[in-house]
């Protein structure tokens, strides 16, 4: 996609959403300011094109991207309910997990499916890749649709078996419309699934 | 929404997505394991209902939720392009920012609109609240639709003026379908906007 018009120096009527004439800020320094078992925090010194300096913090860009799997069984989406320590409640979501070293996203998706809900899949279609939060981290997540499921259990590291929740595809709108539900990643994936299978509102 | 049926101890055909019979894990201890200017990391010791122990890490649940504003001007959505240190590139997104102490989400939305694109709004409608990542953090984000815009500039703390990008509502699908684009929050908000204004695919 190309620029269509520029109405001023600051505005443009376009969709060239990744390209911009602006040179990127120069990264002057990157330091690790904290390190725990799971998280590493970096402090990044930047010089913007106009000469302004800023120091921003970010979680170290993930070397391990993640997968999300929308498992379809007939007219149902198989979701899981798992405890989330961030919100301190059981959250409804899709099968998901980190990609292990040496794994492709497809392999990780099939492994997580077997670990989390004890099912293999004969068909796996990529749905989309998205990011968790480009401002402070950079976690790419690959979403897949899995079909033609069959029983196949792999042992995962979950502290308790995940509750499996069958959501009729015709009722996905109820989830999408409910403010009580709502990890942005799951919400995006549900609406992408609706677009892909043609059940969007 | 109520449970409709239980097919086994582990499965249920329902949508009671927040309620579960399972008692929540008990939080035995919460410790701060790292503290930087922006981030605080906690280590949380949990005992699950089945007796299993786990220690999870999380970013300290945000005391400052955030807002996202979908600014509509005629048949265009006004988006902004801002440098994201997580992805190290300019990202197209919507006006957004943290809610300041003492502010309502509405007040924060109107302030950010003036700071980031120099516009006030006579109409502000809530679109939805969603979460950034309940697994490791708990950042609620309130999305709004702003209409009846008028020039009104407030000084923000951006290092450089944000580039304003006018995206025709009829072309939102191009963004949604483009893998190169894609903060999950923005993606979810764009599809929610399409549902709300009736331009979904």
Q: Enumerate the domain spans of chain A.
A: 26-59, 66-199
Q: Which two tokens stand for residue A65?
A: 């991207």
> Are residues B89 and A179, on separate chains, in Cβ contact within 8 Å?
no
pLDDT in tens, chain B (201 residues): 333 333 334 444 445 555 667 788 899 999 999 999 888 888 999 898 889 898 988 887 666 789 999 999 999 999 998 888 777 788 889 999 999 999 999 999 999 999 999 999 999 999 999 887 766 666 789 999 999 999 999 998 888 888 899 999 999 998 898 877 778 999 999 999 999 988 655
Q: Which CATH superfamily is domain B66-199 in?
A: Nucleoside Triphosphate Pyrophosphohydrolase (3.90.79.10)
Please report the DSSP string for A2-50 in residue order. Answer: ----BSSSSEE-----S--SSPPPEEEEEEEEEE-SS-EEEEEEEE-TT
pLDDT for position A8: 39
The verdict on B76 touching A (C-beta cutoff 8 Å) is yes
DSSP structural state of residue B198: T
User: Chain A within 8 Å of B157 (Cβ-Cβ)?
Assistant: no
- Minimal Cα distance from A24: which residue of B? B89
CB contact A183 to B (< 8 Å)? yes
Residue ranges of chain A with pLDDT lower than 70? 1-20, 61-63, 134-138, 199-201
Chain A residues within 8 A of B18 when measuring between CB atoms: 89-90, 92, 180-181
Residue whose entry in the numeric block shows the structure tokens 């945000």: B62
- Whole-prediction pTM value? 0.83
- CB contact under 8 Å between B85 and A48, yes or no, is no
Please give the ipTM for the structure prediction: 0.81
Q: What is the CA radius of gyration of chain A?
A: 20
Nearest CA-CA partner of B191 in A80, A138, A185: A185
**Hey, is the C-beta of B36 within 8 angstroms of any chain A C-beta?**
yes
The continuous run of DSSP H or E covering A172 comes out as helix A172-176
Q: Does B22 touch chain A (CB under 8 A)?
A: yes
- Chain A residues in contact with B192 (beta carbon < 8 A): 176, 187, 191
Whether A84 contacts chain B with CB within 8 A: yes
CB contact under 8 A, A59 and B167: no
Predicted confidence at residue B183, as pLDDT, reads: 87
Rg (CA), chain B: 20
Amino acid B18: pLDDT: 57
How many CA atoms does the CB half-sphere of B86 hold within 13 Å? 17
With an 8 Å Cβ cutoff, are B58 and A86 in contact? Answer: yes
Q: How far is A157 from chain B (nearest CA, A)?
A: 10
Provide the β-strand partners of residue A58. Answer: A42
Interface touch A15/B171, C-beta < 8 Å: yes
Contact B197/A at CB under 8 A: no
Q: Residue A166's beta-bridge partner residues?
A: A78
């Amino acid at each position: 996609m190309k620029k269509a018009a520029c109405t001023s120096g600051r505005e443009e009527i376009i969709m060239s959403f990744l390209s911009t004439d602006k040179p990127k800020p120069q990264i002057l320094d990157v330091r690790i300011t904290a390190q725990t078992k799971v998280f590493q925090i970096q402090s990044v010194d930047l010089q913007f094109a106009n000469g302004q300096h800023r120091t921003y913090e970010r979680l170290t860009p993930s070397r391990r991207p993640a997968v999300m799997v929308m498992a379809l069984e007939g007219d149902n989406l198989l979701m899981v309910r798992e405890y989330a320590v961030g919100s301190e409640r059981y959250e409804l979501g899709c099968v998901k997990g980190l990609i292990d070293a040496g794994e492709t996203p497809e392999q990780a998706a099939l492994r997580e499916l077997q670990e989390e809900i004890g099912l293999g899949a004969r068909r796996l279609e990529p749905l989309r890749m998205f990011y968790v939060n480009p401002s402070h981290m950079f976690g790419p997540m690959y979403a897949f649709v899995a079909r033609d499921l069959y029983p196949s259990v792999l042992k995962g590291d979950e502290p308790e078996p995940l509750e499996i929740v069958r959501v009729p595809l015709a009722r996905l709108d109820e989830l999408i419309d409910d403010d009580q539900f709502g990890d942005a990643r799951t919400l995006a994936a549900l609406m992408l699934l609706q677009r892909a299978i043609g059940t969007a509102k």
